[in-house]
Amino acid sequence: MILLKILDILRILIVSVTFFFGYQIGFADGYNPFAQLHFMIPLVIVAISGISGIEGLFFGKQSAQIKGFEGGSNYQRQSAIALLSYAAVAIFVYFADWGIKAELTIFFTFIFFFFFSGVNHGIDAIKRKNYKWQNINRPFIVLLLIAGMIYPVIMALKNLTE
């Protein structure tokens, strides 16, 4: 389905642009991991979880099919709602201006889910020989996301304890 490909491209494009501008913001005047993460966290979560949640709710069967999974179950709908909840909370935390600790909390919750989703997709690729692009790219995309976020997160945590 062409719309699902567009959503996939949109997810990657938004996250890429967010990384570009997020690092620009972070290094604008010395280094400010708080400003960088304040910009990046909600956009990354909304781009990934929000779009994935919408995809799962409205195009669940087609989305599952291109990943090589079964589709249309209550579990799939429940997962889509969970993904949308990460996006909704990230937006709320941003506009409520609850600060870096709240932003990191929703980010850690999101990344925990996304990391184990990547593990699940990797195991599926090996066990069931499910080598569909939508399935095998997840572990690598998760690792790229973690690699790009680890420095500002560590620096923010370090600055919080000083």
Q: What is the pLDDT of residue 125?
A: 85
Q: What is the pLDDT of residue 53?
A: 94
Q: What is the pLDDT of residue 16?
A: 97
Q: What is the pLDDT of residue 93?
A: 98
Q: What is the pLDDT of residue 159?
A: 95
**What domain count does the chain have?**
1
C-alpha dihedral, 101 to 106 to 110 to 116, nearest 10°: 60
CA distance 86 to 58: 17
Tally Cβ neighbours within 10 Å of residue 13.
11
CA distance 50 to 14: 12
In a 13 Å sphere around the CA of 33, the CA atoms on its Cβ side amount to 17
Q: What is the pLDDT of residue 137?
A: 83
Q: What is the pLDDT of residue 136?
A: 78
pLDDT (tens place) for every residue of the chain, 162 residues total: 789 889 989 999 999 999 999 999 999 999 999 999 999 999 999 999 999 999 989 887 777 666 666 766 788 889 999 999 999 999 999 999 999 999 999 999 999 999 999 998 889 888 888 777 776 788 999 999 999 999 999 999 999 987
Burial call 50-76: b when 16+ CB within 10 Å, e when fewer: bbbbebbbebbeebbbbbbbeeeeeeb
CA distance 90 to 82: 13
Structural domain boundaries, residue 152 = 2-161
pTM for the model stands at 0.91
CA distance 52 to 83: 7
Q: Helix, strand or coil for residue 15?
A: helix
Q: What is the pLDDT of residue 75?
A: 80
CA distance 161 to 103: 16
